[in-house]
C-alpha cells in the first residue's frame, strides 16, 4: 500500500521519528492534572498512534481504523487543551 507514491511503512517510520521528537519538545504551560498530561504527552501519542496505524494499514484491519480514529480523538483533545490553556 502506498500514499503519495511512498509505502505506508516509510510513513510509519517517519511518524515514529516524530513521536520521539515530540516526546522531548512540548508546549510548556503552567497547568496541572489532566491538562498537563495532555499537553506533555498528547502530541507524541498522536504520532505514535499514526505510526501504528501505518504499520497496520496494509492488512486493512479494524485495528488500523481504530488506532487512526484514536489518533484523531487524542489530537482533538490536544488542540482543545492548548487552545484553552493558551
What gap in Å lies between CA 54 and CA 7, rounded to an integer?
A: 9
At 20-77, the pLDDT tens digits run: 999 999 888 889 999 999 999 999 999 999 999 999 988 888 999 999 999 999 999 9
DSSP string, the chain: -EETTEEHHHHHHHHHHHHHHHHH-----S--HHHHHHHHHHHHHHHHHHHHHHHHGGGT-HHHHHHHHHHHHHHHHHHHHHHHH-
Sketch the domain layout of the chain as residue ranges.
2-85
Model pLDDT, residue 28 = 86
Q: Provide the pLDDT for residue 60.
A: 81
Q: For residue 69, what pLDDT is reported?
A: 97
Amino acid at each position: 500500500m502506498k500514499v503519495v507514491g511512498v509505502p505506508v511503512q516509510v510513513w510509519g517510520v517517519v511518524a515514529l521519528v516524530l513521536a520521539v521528537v515530540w516526546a522531548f519538545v512540548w508546549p510548556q504551560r503552567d497547568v496541572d492534572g489532566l491538562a498537563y498530561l495532555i499537553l506533555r504527552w498528547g502530541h507524541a501519542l498522536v504520532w505514535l498512534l499514526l505510526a501504528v496505524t501505518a504499520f497496520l494499514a496494509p492488512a486493512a484491519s479494524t485495528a488500523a481504523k481504530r488506532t487512526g480514529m484514536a489518533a484523531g480523538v487524542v489530537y482533538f483533545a490536544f488542540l482543545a487543551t492548548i487552545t484553552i490553556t493558551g
